[in-house]
């Protein structure tokens, strides 16, 4: 008898999910039709953003190619991002704010003009390999993103200048492919349980600022000693031996070491 009751409960829930997907698909059809009617079949190149700095909904971005800053905050927004990515060619900044299940769709790779991605209080954040297709991306900022895996394709972000991961409650492992980030200037991995940095970190000669404060370090990772172009190294709020701090200061005399 209990099994029959469970199946009876699941059946309407399954139907409800189908109805929600159908509703989103119909809504996207009308949004896309409206956008094509007023802006043409192809997403035109825009020289000026609509009220730059303001965050718009994804619905507004689909129908107006001058929308450059978009905020994602609901499951429905994720569905629209996946289904209508080709209509978002002019979007430059994405904000994922307080999203309950932040599994980024592979279609994000279609947003060729994207220069900045920001996560704030996003839960279960997961980046797809397609993140590596964003050749114009300069900023990848994750604040309380609850991320556990950094894909190796992050090394394909050749324009990336700022990589930030703050207040993460899981261990962070950076892949060796970060060595390919030739334009990276700032890396901040702070207030995390633990961070593992690969030996290849030493190959990022462009790196000027490295923030590892509160990242669960007990020793200074060896690759850091090779970062001769560093201007700022913050290793405060870690259980590091003061003798090691003096050693890094001698190895990097032109670097301001904060301990």
| pLDDT, tens only, 66-112 | 999 999 999 899 999 999 998 899 999 999 999 887 899 999 999 99
Q: Which domains does the chain have, with CATH numbers?
A: 1-40+49-114+129-135 (no CATH), 161-259 (3.80.10.10)
Q: Model pTM?
A: 0.82
Distance CA 199, CA 224 (A): 9
| pLDDT, tens only, 114-164 | 999 999 999 889 999 999 999 999 999 999 998 988 999 999 999 999 999
Distance CA 217, CA 171 (A): 12
Q: Are strands 116-120 and 139-143 parallel, antiparallel or unpaired?
A: parallel
**Band (45; pLDDT cuts 50, 70, 90):** low
166 or 32, which is more confident: 166
Q: pLDDT value at position 11?
A: 52
Q: Are 84 and 32 in contact (CB under 8 A)?
A: yes
Distance CA 157, CA 36 (A): 31
Question: 3-class SS at 113?
Answer: coil
């Amino acid at each position: 008898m209990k099994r029959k009751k469970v199946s009876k409960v699941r059946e309407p829930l399954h139907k409800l999910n189908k109805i929600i997907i159908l509703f989103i698909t119909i809504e996207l059809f009308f949004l896309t039709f409206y956008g094509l009617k007023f802006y043409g079949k192809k997403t035109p190149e825009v020289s000026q953003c609509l009220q730059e700095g303001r965050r718009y909904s994804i619905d507004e971005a689909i129908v107006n190619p001058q929308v450059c800053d978009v905020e994602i905050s609901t499951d429905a927004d994720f569905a629209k991002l996946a289904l209508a990515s080709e209509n978002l060619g002019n979007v430059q900044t994405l904000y994922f704010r307080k999203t309950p299940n932040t599994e980024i769709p592979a279609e994000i790779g279609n947003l060729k003009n994207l220069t900045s991605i920001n996560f704030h209080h996003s839960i279960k954040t997961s980046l797809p390999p397609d993140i590596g297709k964003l050749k114009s991306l300069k900023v990848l900022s994750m604040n309380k993103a609850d991320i556990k895996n950094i894909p190796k394709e992050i090394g394909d972000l050749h324009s990336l200048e700022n990589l930030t991961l703050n207040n993460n409650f899981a261990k962070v492992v950076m892949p060796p492919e970060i060595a390919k980030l030739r334009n990276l200037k700032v890396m901040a991995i702070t207030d995390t349980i633990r961070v593992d940095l690969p030996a290849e970190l030493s190959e990022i000669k462009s790196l000027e600022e490295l923030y590892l404060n509160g990242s669960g370090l007990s020793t200074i990772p060896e690759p850091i000693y090779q970062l001769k172009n560093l201007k700022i190294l913050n290793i405060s709020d870690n259980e590091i031996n003061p003798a090691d701090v003096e050693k890094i200061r001698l190895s990097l005399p032109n670097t301001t070491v904060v301990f």
